[in-house]
Chain A
Amino acid sequence: GENVEQHPSTLSVQEGDSAVIKCTYSDSASNYFPWYKQELGKRPQLIIDIRSNVGEKKDQRIAVTLNKTAKHFSLHITETQPEDSAVYFCAASIGGNTPLVFGKGTRLSVIA
């Protein structure tokens, strides 16, 4: 089955700097790659996603890149703000009615 690896497990950045979180996946059939932000005790919140027919997607300060050949995808947050501090999860699925498989998460701390 699918295996998703995520790095780093923790990340501290100064306010205004960029943050990059990387994930790799094992199943070449995976075609949907969302990123979630989760605050303590709450549901994961979708912040951006990308499908396998696209190499890059951007939404304001957040961007995701996908390299299908290498089977890895990354989340880029620019101009970080203290409210970006949270746990971020990458995930992958092969679509249809199949489940998301999550990475282990990255705890991002943005220091003011």
Chain B
Amino acid sequence: GAVVSQHPSWVICKSGTSVKIECRSLDFQATTMFWYRQFPKQSLMLMATSNEGSKATYEQGVEKDKFLINHASLTLSTLTVTSAHPEDSSFYICSATQGGGGYTFGSGTRLTVV
């Protein structure tokens, strides 16, 4: 079946630094990638939607200059958390779709900002 590889699985960074998270679709072309954030004991909240070769669409309240999304190819999308702060500590997870109602999730990245 469809597989999305997400790296890193966990990362600890210092406040003020940037962190890049990668999601790769291994055996299919992901026309659209979604990025979600999940705080402890909460649901998955959509941050942004990205389509290959175009700018991402961010949800209300998500700072596009802080969460940089690049979807340069049909198999790779990246999320960069810039100038990270402790309140950005969360579980970040990507989801890819080829359309048609099927969604494949990455394994998630646990970000801790100290």
Contact = CB atoms under 8 A, between A and B. Distances in A.
Interface string A76-112: 0000000000000100010111111111110000000
Chain B, interface size: which category? 20 to 34
B91 to A, nearest CB: 7
A86 to B, nearest CB: 13
Main secondary structure of the interface of B (DSSP, over half): strand
A14 B49 CA distance: 41
A10 to B, nearest CB: 11
Q: Give the interface SS of chain A, mostly helix, strand, loop or mixed.
A: loop
Contacts of B93: 43-44
Contacts of A51: 101
B43 A99 contact: no
B107 interface: yes
A21 B33 CA distance: 28
Interface of A: 31-32, 34, 41-44, 46, 49, 51, 89, 93, 95-105
Interface of B: 31-32, 34, 42-46, 49, 51, 91, 93, 95, 97, 99-101, 103, 105-108, 110
Query: What are the 6 closest A-B residue pairs judged by CB atoms, nearest first?
Result: A97-B32, A32-B101, A43-B105, A99-B34, A102-B43, A104-B43
29 contacts: A31-B101, A34-B103, A41-B108, A41-B110, A43-B93, A43-B105, A43-B106, A43-B108, A44-B44, A46-B103, A49-B101, A51-B101, A89-B44, A93-B101, A93-B103, A95-B99, A95-B100, A96-B99, A96-B100, A97-B32, A97-B49, A97-B51, A98-B49, A99-B34, A101-B46, A102-B43, A102-B44, A102-B45, A105-B43
